[in-house]
Structure 1
Amino acid sequence: MVIALAAYFTGLLMRRCMDSNPSVTSYPDIAGVAFGRKGRITALVFICLELYLVATGLLILEGDNLHKLSPHFGFKIGNTKMDGRHSFVIVAGLIIMPTLWLNDLSVLSYLSFGGGLPMAVSLYTFCYGAHAMFPTIYLSMKKKSQFPIVLIISFLTCTTTYVIMAILGYVIYGEDVQSQVTLNLPTEKASAKVAIYTILASPIAKYALTIMPIATAIENYLPVKHKNNNVISAMIKTSLLVSTVVLAIIFPSFESVTSLSGAALIVIVSFVLPCACYLKIFKVYRNFGVDLVVIMGLVVLAILVGVVGTYSSIRETFKHV
């Protein structure tokens, strides 16, 4: 609940930053107004890294659940024998690859809608990391004055859902509950298989949508003669896919990649940067007051959580590599 309140507060700070300048239409724009070109690039880098780890998590999610259905599957690459989970990560990458070459991703957006709730349950670590999308949501609203209400309802819904799922998971499976609840389901039952297959459809559809902003950002910094080149665009997207497949194989579990993303990136994107931008744009730091104390306290706490969480995530990851 504390995290939800902090996320709500920083969402309001972002709204005030957007209202201060009509030209602001995105998260990097806010950072650009506050800190110039360096701020814009910094925000863009962190957002892309966050999306990159989300894409990696989607591959791990796919590999884990496919392995749950076919635990004896595996193959060799040269002299290297791949176990079931890693093999399925590669298979998932091959299945996803053609979707990256589509020019129109609207079909994928419809397909990804069906697996929204199960995916949200699995990606609970990212539940308060939607700040990069707030400017887009805010600008699309007819009644912008209702934005705080939208935030309240959204965070309350998320928090309630996650708490209920956590309680149910523990009540049903006890200490054996896994980071992906589908991995606890008995594959002998048809209903469990349906649930797992529903989960499997979502990463395939969502991957291209997740990786596209990263590819677009890279393409925007290419020389003019290489922009809008379909071959180069396909190469960039394919390279991103290959690198996330490798990373998904390296990470020992879905939990490890989500915890690292939450600690190292979402803390910065959702808490630290909004506070920093607000302080700079409105020059709050010049006058000592309640606003400054609250914001600085939140920044210090967020940084502390980020550092400790990142260290713990990396340590746990290397323990199981």
Structure 2
Amino acid sequence: MYGSTDLSFHGSTFSLSSNNLQRKNEEDRLGIATTALFIVGTMCGTGVLTIPQAVVNSGYIGPAIILTCGIKAAYTGTLLGKCWTILRNRYPEYENDRITDPYPTIAHRAGGRVAEIATRVCLDITMFGTKVVLLLLISSNISDSISDIGHHDFSLCYIVMITTGVLIPLSWLGTPKDFWQAGLIAACASIVAGFFVFGSMITSTSNQSSPEHAEPQWSLFMSAAGTILFSFGGASCFPTIQLDMRRPSKFPISAIIGISVVMSVYLLVGITGFVVLGDNMKPNVLNALPGDWMSYTVNILVTSHFFMAYLIFNNPVSQEIEGILKIPDKFCLKRVLLRTTLALTVMFVALTVPHFDVILSLLGGTTIVLVNFVFPPMFYIMLSKQRIPSDAYGPLPSHLTKRKQSAIDSTSLVTQSSFQSEEDVSNNPVWTQVQVELHVKVILIEIIIFGIVGGGCSTYFSIASLVNGKSGFTVPCYVNTSVGL
């Protein structure tokens, strides 16, 4: 692909096709360690504050659920990476061109237009719901800070509206792709915040009596499972991160390192909260910590992270809607109106259901389960059944179309096992087959069943808690202005 080292002119355009350009592009890409840190930043955010309550509600089995979900998220995340590697070998154009939506592309090639639409809808709902959660957490942390300085009568309802007003003009800006350092700083902030939460809980033991642990209830247990599933929701972004790696085939190593760090932080704060605070835990762990300098530091760290994460999650949804409505990819009145409307919609949902733990459980049991635990193994199995190009959805690969091949000699196919690396098949001239062994297929089906059953139960009990009033649902302030959230 980069065989030429000549400088050439095409019309009035100067073109550089050289190994120097290739090396420069390679230097701009992510290494294994940086990719692992991005994975931590994608996942480790709300979980630092919400995992302790989830462990308390799920009892002694809570840490086991964290380990199970983390291991499955790592495995399904690497499956997505393998799916993208398969497509890059089958379709050279995906390797040469920049693909901005690899996950929906995988869905389209594996299951057709319906699978692509379902994936896009789930991803958009997940990102929109995450924005609601982040808005509530930002507002809650700001409210706690105001209360700490003596103003106890300032309603969270108004803080949500003020925060939205601050976020609206910032949401008009373009994508933050040129500020990747901020993403890395946010990841580090989450890790540091986790250790500060641990330290604050440990220092509070002198002021705490022996913690009580009530018998877990099924409704609370399943809602806690949804919260834990939500905390590992970043795996759906793995293909996008993989695109920017120098060596995409090494992505599984980064995924294992990143998720191991996330699980360690979650276990640290979750087990400590269960042992130290017990039933005194709150949905937001900051509300259960003593008001000392460590809790204030955690508040600043995580609020900064959430603020930045809100803007990052805002862009994919906004850009997709702008593409559907054919709004120009530049700052204009249409962009301002659309993104302002989206921000106000997020605010409306946040004011209607002002309990982020309920939203966490709902998302964790529905869209996040689908994009993290159901779709990846399903698409991998579908891709493995495509023995020749005509079995796949969408147009034929460009190299076959250009050569005007009407048929493919079955003897020219190259077989790839489910654990081969990208380098082993990089010279594949026609099509890459995938052989999924029986025991691997059993594991994939088990993960799909785990996701459907676990997500369904979590969703049922989350909805039931809203219906029967156990979620603590209050009348929205736009219905009764005297109600303080």
Under TM normalisation by the shorter chain, which class is it?
A: 0.7 to 0.9
Tell me by how many angstroms 1:164 deviates. Answer: 0.5
Q: How does 1:1-321 map to 2 (within 5 A)?
A: 1-22=67-88, 23=91, 24=94, 25=99, 26-71=102-147, 72-74=152-154, 84-103=155-174, 105=176, 114-116=185-187, 119=190, 126-187=230-291, 189-223=292-326, 226-228=327-329, 230-283=332-385, 289-318=438-467, 319=469, 320-321=472-473
Change (3 A) 1:108 1:144: closer
Please identify, of 99-108 and 139-148, the stretch whose mean Cα deviation from structure 2 is larger: 99-108
Is contact 1:251–1:317 with CA below 8 Å preserved after alignment? no
Tell me by how many angstroms 1:217 deviates. Answer: 0.6
Query: Hey, what's the Cα distance between the residues in 1 that align with 2:261 and 2:164?
Result: 33
Tell me by how many angstroms 1:198 deviates. Answer: 2.9
Tell me by how many angstroms 1:37 deviates. Answer: 2.4
Change (3 A) 1:43 1:155: same
Is contact 1:92–1:204 with CA below 8 Å preserved after alignment? no
- The equivalent of 1:79 in structure 2 is none
Change (3 A) 1:125 1:62: farther
CA deviation map 1:17-72 (0-9, x unaligned): 11222255411110011122222222111111111111101111012112222342
Is contact 2:85–2:249 with CA below 8 Å preserved after alignment? no
Name the structure with the higher helix share: 1
Instruction: Find the residue that maps to 2:87 and give its secondary structure.
Output: coil
Query: Hey, what's the Cα distance between the residues in 1 that align with 2:183 and 2:161?
Result: 21
CA deviation map 1:198-231 (0-9, x unaligned): 33223322212111100001111114xx433621
TM-score (norm 2): 0.58
Change (3 A) 1:145 1:19: closer
Gaps spanning 5+ residues in structure 1: where?
75-83
Is contact 2:131–2:346 with CA below 8 Å preserved after alignment? yes
Change (3 A) 1:314 1:232: same
Query: Hey, what's the Cα distance between the residues in 1 that align with 2:295 and 2:437?
Result: 57
Letter paired with 2:344:
V
Change (3 A) 1:144 1:288: closer
Tell me by how many angstroms 1:163 deviates. Answer: 0.4
Change (3 A) 1:232 1:119: farther
Letter paired with 2:234:
A
Tell me by how many angstroms 1:153 deviates. Answer: 1.1
Superposed CA RMSD:
2.7
**Larger-gyration structure (1/2):** 2
TM-score (norm 1): 0.86
Number of aligned residue pairs: give it. 309
Query: Hey, what's the Cα distance between the residues in 1 that align with 2:243 and 2:181?
Result: 22
Instruction: Find the residue that maps to 2:325 and give its secondary structure.
Output: coil
Is contact 2:190–2:301 with CA below 8 Å preserved after alignment? no
Instruction: Find the residue that maps to 1:102 and give its secondary structure.
Output: coil
Query: Hey, what's the Cα distance between the residues in 1 that align with 2:187 and 2:436?
Result: 44
